[in-house]
């Protein structure tokens, strides 16, 4: 049924969409003014959400990863089961899906919990919407709440990957190192923290840098949670405008704004690589030379 037929383009309309040409300096001043108007400044400010989400999500992923790896290494079967279930199931769930699922489930869980405390039977009877049980139990999530939930989602999803990375790295630490530590009379906890986890980083960092890059990429999903992030603003700014009262009349410019996002993400990648190189050098100090890069 769907067929593509190209209707003749509209030259006059296309022309109308072109910005007026004038002298080079007027042009420059115009564009400078355009890219620094309030709308664009809001867009630039929204980069902070992406950065916060990546940093907090990354930190949480390491925390969840360490927890998961510890569980997987546990002596107790039940804890091992929890650890391996977490890493195998959560790794398999698409991040977009988890990103949508977790905050919604958490919000409704909290609303249910609150509703058991604050909802009177009359309020429940008066409620017309299917959810929440009563109006008083509605939890309005602002940008901050969504940003926190987004970071936790990122931490949970990529923590499952980090679990495997760290689990593998823990096993890569030569047994002789641990034996030597025990022979020095260190307690189990001391061996774990001073030798095992300290040396583990060298083996874990290459894998963790992968996980970090995945987290950085996943921050482009923030707008799914109604956070006015860089992607949403790129959409808004690039959307075509036909009315001079609204602002500059222009065609669909979204690709130009997406291009800026490309550059931003490439820049973050480059910075991350430098940072991980530095970390590798630091954590590798005094450790087997063959694992250094």
Partner 1 sequence: MKKTMLAAAAVLALATPAFAQDTVRIATEGAYAPWNFLNDAGEPAGFEIDLGNAICETAELSCEWIINDWDSIIPNLLAGNYDLIMAGMSITDERLETINFSDNYFPPDPSKFVAAAGAGLDFSALSGARVGVQGGTIQAGYAEENLGGANTIVTFSTADQAMADLAAGNLDTILADGAYLEPVVNASNGALEFVGEDVMIGGGVGAGVRKEDTELKATVDEALATLKADGTVDALIAQWFDGMGPFFSE
CB-nearer residue toward partner 1: 43 or 201: 43
Q: Does 105 bind partner 1 (CB under 8 A)?
A: no
CB-nearer residue toward partner 1: 198 or 236: 236
Among residues 58, 65, 103, 132, the one that binds partner 1 under rule CB under 8 A: 132
To partner 1, the closest distance from the beta carbon of 23 in angstroms equals 23
Q: Buried b / exposed e across 257-276, counting CB within 10 Å, b at 16+?
A: beeebeeebeebeeebeeeb
| Alpha helical stretches, state H, the chain | 11-17, 24-35, 38-45, 47-72, 77-92, 95-118, 121-126, 143-172, 175-183, 188-190, 197-218, 230-238, 254-283
Among residues 63, 247, 274, 288, the one that binds partner 1 under rule CB under 8 A: 247
Among residues 74, 190, 241, 272, the one that binds partner 1 under rule CB under 8 A: 241
Q: Does 29 bind partner 1 (CB under 8 A)?
A: no
CB-nearer residue toward partner 1: 58 or 132: 132
Give pairs for 245-249: CB < 8 Å, separation 24+: 247/37, 247/39, 248/19, 248/34, 249/16, 249/17
Among residues 48, 63, 94, 139, the one that binds partner 1 under rule CB under 8 A: 139
Q: Does 92 bind partner 1 (CB under 8 A)?
A: no
Q: Does 96 bind partner 1 (CB under 8 A)?
A: no
Contacting range for partner 1; rule: CB under 8 A; set: 12-20, 76-84, 153-161, 169-177: 12-20
Q: Does 17 bind partner 1 (CB under 8 A)?
A: yes
Judged by CB under 8 A, the chain residues 175 through 214 that form the site for partner 1 are: none
Give how far Cα 270 sits from Cα of 195, 214, 227, Å: 31, 14, 26
Q: Does 41 bind partner 1 (CB under 8 A)?
A: yes
Count of residues that bind partner 1 according to CB under 8 A: 58
Cβ neighbours, 10 Å, residue 202: 22
Cβ neighbours, 10 Å, residue 221: 20
Residue 35, classed as helix, strand or coil, is helix
CB-nearer residue toward partner 1: 170 or 222: 222
């Amino acid at each position: 049924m769907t067929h593509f037929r190209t209707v003749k383009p509209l030259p006059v309309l296309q022309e109308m969409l072109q910005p007026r040409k004038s002298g080079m300096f007027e042009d420059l001043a115009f564009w400078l003014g355009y890219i620094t108007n309030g709308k664009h400044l809001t867009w630039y400010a929204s980069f902070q959400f992406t950065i916060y989400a990546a940093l907090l999500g990354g930190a949480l992923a390491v925390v969840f990863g360490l927890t998961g790896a510890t569980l997987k290494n546990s002596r107790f079967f039940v804890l091992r089961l929890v650890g391996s279930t977490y890493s195998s199931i959560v790794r398999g769930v698409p991040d977009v899906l988890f990103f949508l699922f977790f905050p919604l489930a958490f919000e409704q869980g909290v609303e249910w919990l609150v509703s058991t405390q604050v909802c009177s039977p009359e309020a429940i009877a008066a409620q017309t919407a299917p959810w929440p049980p009563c109006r008083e139990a509605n939890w309005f999530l602002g940008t901050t709440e969504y940003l926190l939930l987004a970071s936790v989602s990122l931490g949970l999803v990529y923590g499952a990957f980090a679990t495997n990375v760290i689990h593998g790295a823990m096993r890569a630490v030569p047994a002789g190192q641990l034996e030597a530590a025990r022979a020095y009379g260190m307690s189990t906890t001391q061996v774990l923290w001073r030798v095992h986890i300290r040396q583990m980083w060298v083996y874990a960092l290459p894998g963790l840098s992968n996980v970090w890059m995945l987290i950085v990429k996943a921050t482009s999903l923030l707008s799914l949670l109604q956070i006015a992030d860089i992607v949403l603003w790129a959409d808004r700014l690039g959307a075509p405008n036909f009315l001079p009262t609204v602002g500059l009349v222009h065609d669909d410019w979204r690709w130009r704004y997406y291009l800026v996002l490309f550059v931003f993400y490439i820049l973050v990648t480059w910075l991350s690589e430098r940072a991980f190189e530095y970390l590798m050098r630091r954590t590798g100090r005094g450790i087997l030379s063959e694992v250094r890069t």
